[in-house]
A and B are shown apart, each in its own frame.
Chain A
């Protein structure tokens, strides 16, 4: 068993940064991370789940899925990890592990290709992971007002929506503040006292 740890051990929390390809996920991670964004990979075999050892599957092909992440040491007790989510499709199972225990998610929207963030929104809605939508303001992209974007994305009125510049530390920080405030506001206890 893994211990719950002594009180001297910090606790780790996780926020996911999702969105379509090229929406600025790794850029946003890098803007606020205290370390250069790291990349690691998970190894997938065709044999997949249910295989405990490799006897007999020597010839099975493997594939890898890359994960980019950053780290922010919030204080001596809490370390925040930001994970960019991998592309959709065959990596959905990876999203399950990523979403497990995640405090919440930021969905980066690119107004030039708004539809690319639909799968992320669907996923978080289905899993009950609280999320905010950050519209990454790319240079040269047509500006829409947030009401238009909200209608196009068909998300509920309670889901926070904000403009951001994923390259800018202050802007990325504001998005994270919005998310954590939103997560706090959704807690039953907070609702009762509000």
Chain B
């Protein structure tokens, strides 16, 4: 996976190849609790561009401030599932910190709801 990765597959290979080549054939992340609005932020100030694949570096470059999985997918123009797999790897590598939304939606967080209401009213 180098900078020229966009060019080594021709159209005949179909739409499946490139995204899943990025994940080395995996179709689901090891961290199964990642979701579309899991927030991801780089854990370190410096990015190890020497040992990390370009796809990981691309994510880390965007994550100097917290971004959701969905935003990463949109910015990198790859499917959400691919970002989940790559972010899952980065969590295991301790390169990023991820925060999931409220763990148990059945227990409402009144403080959070109030903060959302105040924020929306200020728009």
B37 touches A3 (CB 8 A): no
Contacts of B73 in A (CB 8 A): 40-41
1/0 per residue A48-81: CB within 8 Å of B?
0001111100101010100101011011011111
Sort chain B's interface into a size bin. Answer: 35 or more
Which of B1-9, B44-52, B106-114 lies at the interface?
B106-114
Query: What is the bound-complex CA distance between A190 and B114, given in angstroms?
Result: 11
B101 touches A11 (CB 8 A): yes
Contacts of A58 in B (CB 8 A): 16
B16 touches A53 (CB 8 A): no
Of all chain A residues, the one with the shortest Cβ separation from B119 is: A74
B27 touches A5 (CB 8 A): no
Query: What is the bound-complex CA distance between A41 and B116, given in angstroms?
Result: 27
B107 to A: closest C-beta gap in Å: 10
B39 touches A12 (CB 8 A): yes
A-B contact pairs, 10 of them (CB 8 A): A4-B103, A9-B39, A13-B112, A45-B16, A54-B27, A62-B15, A72-B123, A74-B119, A176-B123, A177-B121
Which A positions have Cβ atoms within 8 angstroms of B?
1-6, 9-14, 32, 38-43, 45, 51-55, 58, 60, 62, 64, 67, 69, 71-72, 74-75, 77-81, 83, 97-98, 100-101, 103, 169, 173, 176-177, 180-181, 183-184, 187, 189-190
